[in-house]
Chains A and B, each alone.
Chain A
Amino acid sequence: MTDSPTPAQMDIQDGKPSGARRISLVWLVPLIALIVSLSIAYQNYANQGTLIEISFENASGIKPEETEIKYKDVTIGRVEDVEFAEGLTEVLVHARIDQSVAPYLDQDASFWVVRPDVSVRGISGLDTVLSGVYIEGSWNQEPDVQQFEFTGLETPPITRVDDKGTQITLRTSDGSSLTAGAPILHKGIQVGFLDTPQLTRDGQSVTVTAFIEEPYDSRMTTNTRFWDTSGFSVSLGAGGIALNVSSIASLIEGGIAFDTIVSGGEPVRDGDIFDLFEGEEVARNSLFNDPDLPVLELAILFDGSVNGLAAGAEVRFRGVRVGTVTNLSAVAVEDRVTGPLVQLRTIIAIEPGRMGLAEDATPEDALILISDMVRTANLRARLVTGNILSGALNVELFEDPEAERAFVNLGAQPFPVLPTTENAISDVGDEAQTVLDRVNDLPVEELMASAIDLMDSLDQVVRSEGVSQAPDEIVALLQDTRNIIGSEDIQAIPSELRAIVTELNDIVGDAGEANIVGRVSDVIDTAGAAVANIDLATQNLPALTEEIAALVAKANALEIEALITEATATLNQIDQFMATEALQAAPEALVGLVDEARGLIASDDLQAIPTDLRSVVAQIDGILATLAEADVATQLTSAINAANAAAASIETAATDLPAITAELNELAGKANDLDLEGLVGATTATLDSINALIGADETQDLPGTLTVALDQMALFLAEVREGGAITNVNAALASAADAASAIEVAAESLPALSARATALVNQTDTVLKSYGERSRFNAETLSTLRDIQEAADAVSSLARAIQRNPNSLLTGR
């Protein structure tokens, strides 16, 4: 039975150890998944960045999870949350900052919101119109104690912490022309800018921090002078008319220029304080008038009016400037004789070095010198004419040989008082008036009376004797006399004078009707050339003035009274002679005598006087007409007021000016060459006209009108600066930012963006038109904004396409 096959034994093995007790390898999978998940979570947490808090007054445009924090234009963080501080006073912006940057956020870190901004210096932050605002930060490169709470700035700081340069403080009495960010120019190049001007604690002055960039800050020394170049200035001084214009930006925003004219001086350190002068000339003069040098201050009590004297006027000694008028004030003085009276006290500051004393002379030395000179050389103070046209006065220290003995009142308070002498104010108007007065005072009536007497005598002679053969001649004689007196020439003089005055009034009136709204840029284009011409023209003015003065002196010196008196005397003598019996007894000589008398009265010389007067008046009229044609006054004002044409006219007019002055010179020279009678007449008429011109209220008001016009200009520009236009553009751009953010909200609102951008462009267009059509600034801004509009349109259409057919992304259509 053993061969019978037995079924093969089932190959049964023990199963592997029970599955329940064995751990499957699959368990590694959830383990790894857990580890990976946790590590991702940890990494995310670790990379999250440091949470900081920035407080802002206003969080316009800041959006949680979206607004970025940037440093040097690189994104270093993101706003997480925006909430109100307790009491709703501020907005707290919570942001996460990159781990690598966070340690640098220390005490000096500052944050501000970058928004689109349009100013005269350019457009900034335009990219934020599309991308939305972002927060920019600035700090130095050294990590310090880390901070987590910051106060955001409302406006971008003028200087960044890491900007290199020098920060100085400028001090001025008037901050009206200074704005934050206004440029600082050096030789016409912008080298720095101003911070916000601030009133000092005592309210006496304005200080502003200025920042001069490297390497230009090395151009400054302690001898550097700063001056205000805001807008343009027209100054009428002893040197003539000067028109100064700086950059268009400084015209609107104000600006400051500096220069270091004198070598030497210490290098400037951070925080140094400088004075800000009102103009370049003042600034330059101040260099030679070092405020640090000790000065001798003296008081002068002038009798009568000091109209025309102003603080800053020069104090001269033998024609050389030795000091400055520093103050004018009225003081009540108790006089033992007359009771209380008000005197005008002029304070002058004399620089000892300029009085010939040694460099290190003290004011006391100068006082000793001056009091000695007062005692021994009769040194006196008097007022002299500084500028014949403006009537500005200077103080002169004059050695008057005829003065009575006087002393410096050393005991007077607050300063020693210098004695005065008669003022030497050579007022052209006054002198011309004097000449006219003398002409008026000429004994014409007496002359006529004598002539009438003579007639009576002659009548008697005629009656007494048979001289009827001469009635015709007597009638002719009387006719001639009447002709002279009633001659049209003489009659015409007053009316012509009046016409001239009217004409002058018109000219000056034209100047007064200033309508200052115009294209400033065009004026500025041509103003430079005009200034050069005006300058050239005014160089001739002093010479002209001198000649006129000489003419006046010569006219004054004429012995007209004597001449007329002599004529009168002669006539009287003739009268007496006629009355003598001897004459009456000589009727035969009568005819001849009458002939002679008639010849005398009708003499060419006498006849010539009115004619000459008239011709001179006509000549002056012609000159004034030339002036009127040249339209000097009108064009000066309209240059400021009007457009290209006006500006061009200034140039034309200015080109004519040298010719006019030359003509005037020529005229004055001609007048000097005239014969005696012509000279008298011409000078009188000329001076009368000049007097009328100078004395006319309108002429006197001309500088005032210019000032008013410029003030209005300044107001207009201030308005542009402060109020409206730029803020409007900013507001427009802010709304553009809103429009852009609308893109981010939903695709539906995208089409609206292009409409808003169009509106923005139109709005900006309108605003910018006021800057002048076709100006480069305008054109560039418009094209920039048009580009934005096109970009917005493109994005809009793309978004519209995606929105209309989102499947197309999937289906591939």
Chain B
Amino acid sequence: MGSIGQSHASTGLITAREAGLVACRRCGQVHALGTQNCTRCHGALQSRDAQSLQKVWAWLIAGIVLFIPANIYPMLLTNTLIERSDSTIIGGVVELIHYKSYGIALIVFVASIMIPIGKFIAIAYLAISVQQQSILNMHQRHKLYDFVEFIGRWSMIDVFVVAILSALVQLNTIASINPGIAALSFALSVIFTMFSAQSFDPRLIWDADRKNR
């Protein structure tokens, strides 16, 4: 596990920070450590984002807080001539299974339940791992971070479904579909976790790895 890291260390690979340099994250120009602004693009230079972990945790907690009402309250308010029903996310999945639409049920379940929760766990793990000993090596954690960033937007699929249905099915008294409180909560939760993932400074992974060595 630690073989690659050790191989890095044995080859004497050093970070820019250790070399007294700082790279601009936007244009890639390298400056001496301590330079405030990039000489090329005038962006602020930071060797490490000191507030990164704070932001990660703050967005993550906001996302988790909103994820609770997103699952308790109804996502869709369906009014038809004969009845009025409202379904939560998990209720909708159960209903889809009931109607034997296993494929759609699986998509909804993965996109709306598994991915958000997986993201919470993944981001929390990454945030903790830069402060403490990790069981995953640096490379694996980088892979995990990339995956979290990539997959995050797919959680919005449920929100899009609700938005489209609400816009399409407005047949006055016969049938109408309206978004519930959960739709907004869920959308915010997804957005916040995306922010959380973006706030994470992957360079911290290297530092933590070195520190722990």
Partner of B51, one of A19, A41, A795: A19
| Distance of A264 from chain B, by nearest CB (Å) | 58
A660-686 vs B, CB cutoff 8 Å, 1 = contact: the mask equals: 000000000000000000000000000
Q: Are A33 and B65 in contact (CB under 8 A)?
A: yes
- B36 contacts across to A, CB distance below 8 A: 11, 13
Chain A interface residue count: which class?
35 or more
The complex places the Cα of A810 from the Cα of B35 at a distance, in Å, of 53
- A795 contacts across to B, CB distance below 8 A: 81-82
B196-212 vs A, CB cutoff 8 Å, 1 = contact: the mask equals: 00010000000000000
Within 8 A of A (CB), among B175-213: 175, 181, 185, 188, 192, 199
User: Is A337 interfacial (CB 8 A cutoff)?
Assistant: no
The residue of chain A having its C-beta at the shortest distance from the C-beta of B161 within the complex is: A810
A20-36 vs B, CB cutoff 8 Å, 1 = contact: the mask equals: 10111011011011100
User: Is A130 interfacial (CB 8 A cutoff)?
Assistant: yes
- B174 contacts across to A, CB distance below 8 A: 798
A19-B50, A30-B65, A809-B169 known; A24+B58 contact, CB < 8 A: yes
Within 8 A of A (CB), among B50-98: 50-52, 54-55, 58-59, 61-62, 65-66, 68-69, 73, 81-83
Partner of B185, one of A18, A24, A29, A37: A37
Q: Are B82 and A743 in contact (CB under 8 A)?
A: yes
Q: Are A30 and B62 in contact (CB under 8 A)?
A: yes
The complex places the Cα of A661 from the Cα of B124 at a distance, in Å, of 112
| Distance of B65 from chain A, by nearest CB (Å) | 5
Q: Are A27 and B82 in contact (CB under 8 A)?
A: no
Q: Are A30 and B69 in contact (CB under 8 A)?
A: no
Q: Are A26 and B169 in contact (CB under 8 A)?
A: no
| Distance of A25 from chain B, by nearest CB (Å) | 9
- A15 contacts across to B, CB distance below 8 A: 50
User: Is B4 interfacial (CB 8 A cutoff)?
Assistant: no
Partner of B69, one of A23, A40, A131, A809: A40
User: Is B34 interfacial (CB 8 A cutoff)?
Assistant: yes
Q: Are B54 and A33 in contact (CB under 8 A)?
A: no
- A22 contacts across to B, CB distance below 8 A: 50-51
Partner of B82, one of A16, A37, A740: A740
- B55 contacts across to A, CB distance below 8 A: 24, 26
Within 8 A of A (CB), among B105-131: none
User: Is A88 interfacial (CB 8 A cutoff)?
Assistant: no
A37-B185, A40-B181 known; A66+B69 contact, CB < 8 A: no
- A743 contacts across to B, CB distance below 8 A: 82
Q: Are A12 and B62 in contact (CB under 8 A)?
A: no
The complex places the Cα of A11 from the Cα of B35 at a distance, in Å, of 7
Q: Are A37 and B54 in contact (CB under 8 A)?
A: no
User: Is B144 interfacial (CB 8 A cutoff)?
Assistant: no
A743-B82, A744-B83, A809-B168 known; A37+B51 contact, CB < 8 A: no
Q: Is the interface of B mostly helix, strand, loop or mixed?
A: helix
A733-763 vs B, CB cutoff 8 Å, 1 = contact: the mask equals: 0000000100110000000000000000000
| Distance of A614 from chain B, by nearest CB (Å) | 85
The complex places the Cα of A29 from the Cα of B194 at a distance, in Å, of 14
User: Is B165 interfacial (CB 8 A cutoff)?
Assistant: yes
Chain B interface residue count: which class?
20 to 34
- B81 contacts across to A, CB distance below 8 A: 130, 795
User: Is A812 interfacial (CB 8 A cutoff)?
Assistant: yes
- A30 contacts across to B, CB distance below 8 A: 58-59, 61-62, 65
Q: Are A27 and B164 in contact (CB under 8 A)?
A: no
The complex places the Cα of A217 from the Cα of B110 at a distance, in Å, of 70
| Distance of B49 from chain A, by nearest CB (Å) | 8
A259-303 vs B, CB cutoff 8 Å, 1 = contact: the mask equals: 000000000000000000000000000000000000000000000
The complex places the Cα of A29 from the Cα of B54 at a distance, in Å, of 12
User: Is A10 interfacial (CB 8 A cutoff)?
Assistant: yes
A551-570 vs B, CB cutoff 8 Å, 1 = contact: the mask equals: 00000000000000000000
Q: Are A131 and B82 in contact (CB under 8 A)?
A: yes
The complex places the Cα of A346 from the Cα of B51 at a distance, in Å, of 116
- B169 contacts across to A, CB distance below 8 A: 809
The residue of chain B having its C-beta at the shortest distance from the C-beta of A20 within the complex is: B50
B30-53 vs A, CB cutoff 8 Å, 1 = contact: the mask equals: 001011100000000000011110
Q: Are B181 and A19 in contact (CB under 8 A)?
A: no
- A744 contacts across to B, CB distance below 8 A: 82-83
The complex places the Cα of A33 from the Cα of B190 at a distance, in Å, of 13
Partner of A809, one of B59, B62, B165: B165
A24-B55, A30-B61 known; A66+B83 contact, CB < 8 A: yes
Q: Are B168 and A812 in contact (CB under 8 A)?
A: yes
| Distance of A36 from chain B, by nearest CB (Å) | 8
Q: Are B168 and A29 in contact (CB under 8 A)?
A: no
Q: Are B59 and A37 in contact (CB under 8 A)?
A: no
Q: Are A37 and B66 in contact (CB under 8 A)?
A: yes
The residue of chain B having its C-beta at the shortest distance from the C-beta of A19 within the complex is: B50
A24-B54, A26-B199, A27-B54 known; A33+B164 contact, CB < 8 A: no
The complex places the Cα of A20 from the Cα of B174 at a distance, in Å, of 58
The complex places the Cα of A247 from the Cα of B55 at a distance, in Å, of 83
The residue of chain A having its C-beta at the shortest distance from the C-beta of B177 within the complex is: A809
Q: Are B32 and A29 in contact (CB under 8 A)?
A: no
The complex places the Cα of A131 from the Cα of B59 at a distance, in Å, of 46
Q: Are A33 and B168 in contact (CB under 8 A)?
A: no
- B54 contacts across to A, CB distance below 8 A: 19, 23-24, 26-27
| Distance of A463 from chain B, by nearest CB (Å) | 121
Within 8 A of B (CB), among A774-813: 795, 798, 809-810, 812
The residue of chain A having its C-beta at the shortest distance from the C-beta of B62 within the complex is: A30
A12-B34, A13-B36 known; A37+B69 contact, CB < 8 A: yes
Within 8 A of A (CB), among B125-170: 161, 164-165, 168-169
- B83 contacts across to A, CB distance below 8 A: 66, 744
| Distance of B64 from chain A, by nearest CB (Å) | 8
The complex places the Cα of A24 from the Cα of B168 at a distance, in Å, of 42
The complex places the Cα of A617 from the Cα of B27 at a distance, in Å, of 140
Partner of A810, one of B52, B73, B164: B164
Q: Are A29 and B59 in contact (CB under 8 A)?
A: yes
The residue of chain A having its C-beta at the shortest distance from the C-beta of B192 within the complex is: A29
The residue of chain B having its C-beta at the shortest distance from the C-beta of A131 within the complex is: B82
The complex places the Cα of A32 from the Cα of B188 at a distance, in Å, of 12
- B73 contacts across to A, CB distance below 8 A: 40, 44
Partner of A41, one of B34, B69, B82: B69
- B165 contacts across to A, CB distance below 8 A: 809-810
The complex places the Cα of A44 from the Cα of B69 at a distance, in Å, of 11
The complex places the Cα of A519 from the Cα of B49 at a distance, in Å, of 97
The complex places the Cα of A488 from the Cα of B82 at a distance, in Å, of 90
Q: Are A29 and B35 in contact (CB under 8 A)?
A: no
- B62 contacts across to A, CB distance below 8 A: 29-30, 32-34
The complex places the Cα of A12 from the Cα of B65 at a distance, in Å, of 41
The complex places the Cα of A33 from the Cα of B70 at a distance, in Å, of 12
Q: Are A26 and B58 in contact (CB under 8 A)?
A: yes
A37-B185, A40-B181, A809-B168 known; A27+B58 contact, CB < 8 A: yes
- B168 contacts across to A, CB distance below 8 A: 809-810, 812
The complex places the Cα of A364 from the Cα of B52 at a distance, in Å, of 117
The complex places the Cα of A33 from the Cα of B184 at a distance, in Å, of 12
A12-B34, A34-B65, A809-B165 known; A26+B59 contact, CB < 8 A: yes
- B164 contacts across to A, CB distance below 8 A: 810
The residue of chain A having its C-beta at the shortest distance from the C-beta of B81 within the complex is: A795
- B58 contacts across to A, CB distance below 8 A: 24, 26-27, 29-30
The complex places the Cα of A795 from the Cα of B62 at a distance, in Å, of 44
Q: List 21 A-B contacts (CB under 8 A).
A: A10-B35, A12-B34, A13-B34, A22-B50, A22-B51, A26-B55, A27-B54, A29-B58, A29-B59, A29-B62, A30-B58, A33-B62, A33-B65, A34-B65, A37-B68, A40-B181, A130-B81, A130-B82, A798-B174, A809-B165, A810-B168
Extra 7 A-B pairs, beta carbons < 8 Å, given A33-B192, A740-B82: A22-B50, A24-B51, A27-B54, A30-B61, A798-B175, A809-B168, A809-B169
Q: Which 9 A-B pairs have the closest CB atoms?
A: A19-B50, A30-B62, A30-B61, A26-B58, A24-B54, A33-B62, A12-B34, A29-B62, A33-B65
